[in-house]
Amino acid sequence: MSAIRRIGLVQQAVGSDLDRNLARAESAVREAAARGAQLVCLQELFRTRYFPQVEDASLFELAETIPGPTTERMAKLAADAGIVLIVPLFEKRAAGLYHNSAVVFERDGTQLAHYRKMHIPDDPMFYEKFYFTPGDLGFHCVETSVGRIGVLICWDQWFPEAARLLALDGAELLFYPTAIGYLDGESDSENAAMRDSWQTVQRGHAIANGVFVCAANRVGDEGGGVRFWGSSFVADPQGRLLAQASDSSEETLVVECDLGRIETQRRGWPFLRDRRVDAYADLLARFRR
């Protein structure tokens, strides 16, 4: 089997009409599949606006169960398009218990994996702790027909421990569905620095772990003080950008990833070989001093 995999990332602006958002995402997934994508990743909370810009208890009504209407429709889409599909959504687990989650479907529509976001931010215009319970399913890869993948969500992308654990679980490709953007009231230089930090830390995960990193972000202004900067990208195991989307418009990327690069990179830069696993126990402490 060829080591080349074609990865699709959907970057969209999102409105208030949930059904329209869903239909537009379906259309973009079908477009990516028609362009040869074997796996497609949607952005974080793809069906709704990024509602955590405010704290409003009525917005819990946006959540749905897994399985539920969106996952059932996306499972059918994966089967119809013949692709692996990563679907992030607002999960209602039980009355009063909600998660920021993602589901992975195989190309026959079978649900392969369910991930709940582990790191939950609480910052101005990113009030996620009001809505989401921290995940309890851990960091685990899933074997798909496209390769062994790991899925993390947005704030998770800042934590090297999460990427490393997935690499140690055999990940070849890491996916980060995301909702992040420029903040009103910040200077242009500060916003540019934040965007650069966002990309740099993820490219660092690719390098440190010798894996492909694929980030799918939303784009546009949904009100509330954040203008989402898009810039969805794929980086190879050396951290090189294979493709990057616009920071201001919708785009669907389809990117070739040669999984053979993983072995080549790890032979040259054998970070996993040289880890001092006997000396890292203090990483389990909140703070060392």
CA atoms within 13 A on the CB side of 89: 28
C-beta neighbour count of 213 within 10 angstroms: 28
User: Of 26, 92, 117, 172, which is the active-site residue?
Assistant: 117
User: Of 154, 172, 222, 257, which is the active-site residue?
Assistant: 154
Residue type at position 289: R
- Matching residue, tokens 């903040």: 183
44 among known catalytic residues: yes
Distance between CA atoms of residues 289 and 286, nearest Å: 9
Q: 259 and 5 in contact (C-beta within 8 Å)?
A: yes
Q: 141 and 166 in contact (C-beta within 8 Å)?
A: yes
Q: Which of 97, 99, 98, 113 is nearest to 41 (CA)?
A: 113
117 among known catalytic residues: yes
Residues designated as active site: 44, 117, 154
